[in-house]
Structure 1
Amino acid sequence: MNIKDLLKEDSIILDTTATNKEEAIQEMVAKHYQCGHIQNQDIYYQAILEREKLSSTGIGHFIAIPHAQSETVNYPSLVAMVSPKGIEYDSLDQKPVHLLFMIAVPKEAGSKHLEILAQLCQILMDEKIVDQLIHSSHEKEFLSILCHDLEKKEDQKEESKELDIVAVTACPTGIAHTYIAEKALIEKAKEMNISIKVETNGASGIQNTLTKEDIQKARCVIVAADKKVEMERFHHKPLIQVPVTKAIYHTEELLQKAMSSNIEVYQSSEQKQETNEKGIRRIYQHLMSGISQIIPILMISGIFISLIPYIQNMGIESEYLTLIYYIATLAINIAIPIMSAFISDSIAGKPAFIVSLVSSILLINMQGNVIEGIILGYIAGYFVLSLSRILRYLPKDFQSLSPNLFIPLIGSFVMGVIIYLTSPYFASYISLMTQELNPVMLILIGALLGIMMSIDLGGPINKTAYTIGIIGIFIGRYDLMSAVMLTGMLPPLIIWLTMLITHIFNDEERKQKWSCLFNGLCFVSEAAIPYMQKNKYTIHYPCIVASAIAGALTMYFGCSQAFPHGGIWTIMFINQPLYFVFSLVLSTVIGTLFIIFTKYLLSHFHKTRVES
């Protein structure tokens, strides 16, 4: 089911008279009723309002997509509305909304509304399409503009008898790099006249899934991933496996290599094949598979711990205080076993997950910490991988018992013995890592973390710095995480301010300035990648310098936090929040001035060369 099946000309409202959010919703609900999409206006109107209470569906960039599931809906359907004057809708970017889509889905339709939402968001990412829709003069024109890109993709699928390349993109958090890599591959392939299909493995799940037929047709497979993806399906196919950043920064080189004939054929097996990939990168991927799983758990622990002083000052009953403390403690205690288990799972699958989970719970009870948990994840994973290969020599009748009997029992016992023998040495290093540092050391560590966060946004060095921040949370060095988060927020904010006060960027690039601001405040530094990649000397290097200054300032001022994400929206839970904001603002201004100065120097240098 796609959008052109759901939206018809009679369910499009052009030039609405609605002046506010309530009137717009009422008019769109009425249109649903007129078109026979729903049985009862009042019930569906209340369902929409209940959804709006959770968070505004004004997603920014002049767009709102209200949606709800209800028993009064007859079948999945859409209503579209255009408001040339704009409607105050309480959007995320606080700007008026000009384009609205209301999705109606029956109660029993499961996640159907999410599929429709995803289709709409993909189309509406193109600002030109949004502008054309807002200025549509007729319903037929509106429908044609909206469905044109969709029809084009379907035509390409039908006409293409053979795909040159199929690709998979994935990153540990699945928020930005996955989709930036997808876009880079598709756009560069189009320039090079290469047919490609890209599967994304992001936070919203697997999208644009590669079929058996797609894989069979393709000449080559590209797997640009920093986490575990399903590889068995690529057996006996020419395959290139690279970090996701390779697909972003070296797209043309990657596609050229994929089109060459000298590509190694992938040989799969029932277990992970460590020999097909570089050892260091595999170790990094396994670690990221574990780290990415515990970010929301650490958010629960860190925010709840930070709430306790506020609750104490409010005089709330001690029972609630105890409850919040127990939740926070439980979250931090299960984080290490979960991280360890997913590291093992990345190495050797489900049997290793179980062995590592049980063993790491024992580890925590014997005063083990995060470093031991990471090491245990690797040891358990590789031990299970080796054990499963040995057990293949058992008679076939016994092999079915391996994953549910032999491997869990043997693996858990061996890991338990290792933990018992090494437990006297646990935590001896913690005192060294948590000791008070002099100001010079704090400044140097903060500056180093800042450089690491900005040098390859989302790449291995950036993720290493982020992992150091995560480790800091477990061992009580909360200042490391504050330095990491502030310096990760900085590059998009520097680019936003530069766009706002200068003409260094072209008009098309400057349209993204508010997106850079919002992403920067949310600690999504990947928004800066296209600009830093395009302008290494004038954008990237100044951002690195500014990030080093920011990291040094926040460590010097003693800013700290017990949670790994949230950006400016969690400022009230950060220790020394005013210094945090001061460091952020000052570093943003310094970075912007660096960009302006570098741009002036380069322009002057080029001018001098031309004259000479």
Structure 2
Amino acid sequence: MNIKDLLKEDSIILNSNAKDKNEAIHEMVEKHFQCGHIKDKFVFEKAILEREKISSTGVGNLIAIPHAQSETVCYPSLVAMVNKNGIDYDALDQKPVSLFFMIAVPKDGGSQHLQILAQLCQMLMEEDMVKQLINSQDEQEFIHLLFQNMDTMKDQNVVQNNIDLVAVTACPTGIAHTYMAEKALIEKAKEMNISIKVETNGASGIQHKLTKEDIEKAKCVIVAADKKVEMERFQNKYVIQVPVTKAIDHTEELLKNALQQKAEIYHGKELYKESNEKGTRKIYQHLMNGISQIIPILMISGILMSLIPYLQNMDVDQEYLTIMYYIASLTINIAIPITSAFIGDSIAGKQGFVVSLISSIFLINVQGNIIEGILVGFIGGYLALGLSHLFSYLPKDLQSLTPNLFVPIIGTTILSFLIYMLAPYFIDYVSLLNQNLDSIVVVIIGAILGMMMSIDLGGPINKIAYSIGIIGIFTGRYDMMSAVMLAGMMPPLIIWLTMLTSKVFDQEDKQKKWSCLLNGLCFVSEVAIPYMKKYKSAVKYPCIIASSIAGALSMYFQCGQAFPHGGIWTIFLINNSIYFISSLIISLIIGTLLIVIMNKLKLKA
């Protein structure tokens, strides 16, 4: 599918006057309707807005690419729009968007929208190109600028028979960085007179796939990826594995190292040597890979457990309550092996997944809990990694049995035996955590957890505090989870109330005040990050203090919940919910006053 066939002069809007995201979307949908691309503009606009709820399509670098598949679309089509003033579009880089492309694809269009997305991202990687498009004088100039390098791009990844290097690029979204890294590698390789072929694992699937012959010819393989790619094909080759940004920012150094084979030979183990994310940071990533998978599971279990007392008072049949309790208990027990399995998967792939999963199922049958489950995940992952390396020395005919037979069976046997031997020595930390603590100790714990939630919103400290709250759910210490959730709600709510009652923030910032309110009530803290960065200590420290107070008050009043999310919408399922609301209001007022005071002191200084 070629974008040249999709974008015509009559589907381009220059000099849009849209004031916000919704107006911009409405204007582009209207243009689709006027051009006959869609039959029902209301249905299509709803589909676009539903897609935006999942995540913003503002990809950064002044660009947004809203898209949707709908039964009302007649055929694949495209509308382009320029808004020179820029619009707050919740873009990934938090900057205004001036250049828009809206993709419309029929409901049965498969992955056509992803193909169009990938082409657009490749064409719009250069900042100068984007600026020229924004400043186009007419539609003809816009189309000419957009397509002038398209034919060149199509052939840029064609290589000669003698391949020096091969590479794979991939990023989590598969849109921008995947193709930026490809472009950087190809252009720099051309400058250095190096022949290279680059495979992209992008939004439209795998392109320029490396063949067995390509890999065999290459002196070295570069894997510039922030997500999993197929690695088994690189067995016994020199491989450099780096984050995708390294291929963009340090291209020449990367190519030189690859050409000189300054790399390790791949034997089925991780080679992420170039990453700055080592040591404790890497451990944190593995832990989060496990914890993040069980949040929806704990939501179901916790809500079921919280509903049972209400249903008992309503004289619901005891048989149904027993079934609900059984499902809730089984669900929370399942969550432990799932956590272990995904920690193992993060460390050693599917072999680590299997060893950790089976071993942790055995663990819960000998009364192990979440902390032991986390340890099993790490031990299982690294055990599988070690066994894979050990079995790489077997004859090639036997190596094919390693991933599906030797590692799972031997790894599970070793780890299960270790669990069996250590089970009598497991610490009863459930009883330890649930003993009656002095009020001052409870307040201090709540204050520390609250402070951790706001120090680096969405960062490692925040996630560790959140993980402690989740561990509290498994151990019956439900007050820690309520303290964590209340503290995490504080920053966006404080910023909202400050916008509403003072002149601390400018008019541009205030456009998102209702977004701050909604996200805060939903326990989504990240919306506050841009304000903390922009206003620094004047906003950050008041939010940290208020979150610390919120955590302390929540634990002091013994607020508790058996589920890890939900915000204000689950208030009726929180123990001592009146005190939860009271703690929220008190902390909110304190945080807002602190921001106002700190800004006044700053002005006087």
516 and 262 in structure 1: CA distance in 2 versus 1, 3 angstrom threshold: farther
Q: Would you say 1:271 and 2:268 are equivalent positions?
A: yes
User: CA offset at residue 327 of structure 1?
Assistant: 3.2
The answer to whether the 8 Å contact 1:368/1:427 transfers is no
User: CA offset at residue 519 of structure 1?
Assistant: 2.2
Aligned to 2:354: 354
Q: Would you say 1:386 and 2:386 are equivalent positions?
A: yes
Aligned to 1:417: 417
Letter in 1 for 2:408: P
Q: Would you say 1:431 and 2:431 are equivalent positions?
A: yes
Matched residues, number: 529
Aligned to 1:508: 508
User: CA offset at residue 208 of structure 1?
Assistant: 10
Q: Would you say 1:330 and 2:327 are equivalent positions?
A: no
Aligned to 2:310: 310
58 and 350 in structure 1: CA distance in 2 versus 1, 3 angstrom threshold: closer
User: CA offset at residue 271 of structure 1?
Assistant: 3.1
User: CA offset at residue 79 of structure 1?
Assistant: 8.7
80 and 550 in structure 1: CA distance in 2 versus 1, 3 angstrom threshold: same
Partner Cα separation in structure 2 for residue 444 and residue 543 of structure 1: 17
Aligned to 2:560: 560
Partner Cα separation in structure 1 for residue 43 and residue 404 of structure 2: 46
TM-score normalized with structure 1 length: 0.68
SS in 1 for 2:108: helix
Letter in 1 for 2:556: Y
Aligned to 1:522: 522
Structure-to-structure mapping, 1:557-596, within 5 angstroms: 557-596=557-596
SS in 2 for 1:109: coil
User: CA offset at residue 36 of structure 1?
Assistant: 6.4
User: CA offset at residue 464 of structure 1?
Assistant: 0.9
Q: Deviations over 1:99-122 (max 9, x none)?
A: x9998644433355688899999x
Aligned to 2:496: 496
405 and 168 in structure 1: CA distance in 2 versus 1, 3 angstrom threshold: closer
User: CA offset at residue 396 of structure 1?
Assistant: 1.0
Letter in 2 for 1:537: S
Partner Cα separation in structure 1 for residue 53 and residue 472 of structure 2: 36
Partner Cα separation in structure 1 for residue 365 and residue 434 of structure 2: 21
394 and 260 in structure 1: CA distance in 2 versus 1, 3 angstrom threshold: closer
SS in 1 for 2:440: helix
The answer to whether the 8 Å contact 1:228/1:346 transfers is no
SS in 2 for 1:108: coil
Structure-to-structure mapping, 1:96-115, within 5 angstroms: 105-110=105-110, 112=112
Letter in 1 for 2:493: L
Partner Cα separation in structure 1 for residue 348 and residue 78 of structure 2: 45
Partner Cα separation in structure 1 for residue 597 and residue 392 of structure 2: 65
Letter in 2 for 1:291: I
528 and 263 in structure 1: CA distance in 2 versus 1, 3 angstrom threshold: farther
The answer to whether the 8 Å contact 2:44/2:73 transfers is no
Partner Cα separation in structure 2 for residue 152 and residue 483 of structure 1: 57
356 and 454 in structure 1: CA distance in 2 versus 1, 3 angstrom threshold: same
The answer to whether the 8 Å contact 2:348/2:385 transfers is yes
User: CA offset at residue 284 of structure 1?
Assistant: 1.2
Structure 2: any 5+ residue segments left out of the alignment? 17-21, 58-63, 82-99, 122-137, 158-167, 185-198, 211-217
540 and 35 in structure 1: CA distance in 2 versus 1, 3 angstrom threshold: closer
The answer to whether the 8 Å contact 2:118/2:203 transfers is no
The answer to whether the 8 Å contact 1:301/1:327 transfers is yes
Partner Cα separation in structure 1 for residue 389 and residue 286 of structure 2: 20
Q: Deviations over 1:397-437 (max 9, x none)?
A: 11111111111111111112112112223352221012122
SS in 2 for 1:564: coil
User: CA offset at residue 11 of structure 1?
Assistant: 7.7
Aligned to 2:296: 296
The answer to whether the 8 Å contact 1:490/1:584 transfers is yes
Please give the root-mean-square deviation of Cα atoms over the aligned residues, in Å: 5.7
Aligned to 1:487: 487
SS in 2 for 1:393: coil
Q: Deviations over 1:318-353 (max 9, x none)?
A: 554444334323321211111101111111111111
Higher mean displacement: 44-53 or 528-537: 44-53
SS in 2 for 1:458: coil
Partner Cα separation in structure 1 for residue 78 and residue 113 of structure 2: 10
Structure-to-structure mapping, 1:30-429, within 5 angstroms: 69-70=70-71, 74-77=74-77, 105-110=105-110, 112=112, 267=264, 269-273=266-270, 276=273, 278-318=278-318, 320-426=320-426, 428-429=428-429
Letter in 2 for 1:584: L
TM-score normalized with structure 2 length: 0.69
Aligned to 2:440: 440
User: CA offset at residue 279 of structure 1?
Assistant: 2.1
User: CA offset at residue 535 of structure 1?
Assistant: 3.0
Aligned to 1:603: 603
Letter in 2 for 1:470: I
278 and 102 in structure 1: CA distance in 2 versus 1, 3 angstrom threshold: closer
Higher mean displacement: 386-395 or 573-582: 573-582
Partner Cα separation in structure 1 for residue 364 and residue 389 of structure 2: 29
Q: Would you say 1:536 and 2:533 are equivalent positions?
A: no
Partner Cα separation in structure 2 for residue 120 and residue 257 of structure 1: 23
Letter in 1 for 2:373: G
User: CA offset at residue 444 of structure 1?
Assistant: 0.3
Letter in 2 for 1:463: K
Letter in 2 for 1:443: V
102 and 601 in structure 1: CA distance in 2 versus 1, 3 angstrom threshold: closer
The answer to whether the 8 Å contact 1:302/1:563 transfers is yes
Letter in 2 for 1:422: L
Letter in 2 for 1:536: K
The answer to whether the 8 Å contact 2:341/2:353 transfers is yes
Partner Cα separation in structure 2 for residue 73 and residue 588 of structure 1: 46
Aligned to 2:460: 460
Partner Cα separation in structure 1 for residue 149 and residue 370 of structure 2: 47
Partner Cα separation in structure 1 for residue 263 and residue 540 of structure 2: 36
Q: Deviations over 1:367-412 (max 9, x none)?
A: 1100110011111111111111111121111111111111111111
User: CA offset at residue 532 of structure 1?
Assistant: 1.6
User: CA offset at residue 441 of structure 1?
Assistant: 1.1
366 and 316 in structure 1: CA distance in 2 versus 1, 3 angstrom threshold: same
Letter in 2 for 1:368: G
The answer to whether the 8 Å contact 2:200/2:209 transfers is no
283 and 67 in structure 1: CA distance in 2 versus 1, 3 angstrom threshold: closer
Q: Deviations over 1:429-453 (max 9, x none)?
A: 2210121222111110010001111
SS in 2 for 1:345: helix
Q: Deviations over 1:139-173 (max 9, x none)?
A: x98x999x999879979978999xxxx99766xxx
Aligned to 1:136: none
Partner Cα separation in structure 1 for residue 324 and residue 141 of structure 2: 53
User: CA offset at residue 480 of structure 1?
Assistant: 0.8
User: CA offset at residue 601 of structure 1?
Assistant: 1.9
The answer to whether the 8 Å contact 1:228/1:289 transfers is no
Letter in 2 for 1:521: L
Letter in 2 for 1:436: N
394 and 472 in structure 1: CA distance in 2 versus 1, 3 angstrom threshold: same
Partner Cα separation in structure 2 for residue 502 and residue 480 of structure 1: 33
Q: Deviations over 1:27-47 (max 9, x none)?
A: x89986x97667xx7xx8998
The answer to whether the 8 Å contact 1:67/1:103 transfers is yes
Partner Cα separation in structure 1 for residue 448 and residue 200 of structure 2: 33
Partner Cα separation in structure 1 for residue 356 and residue 466 of structure 2: 23
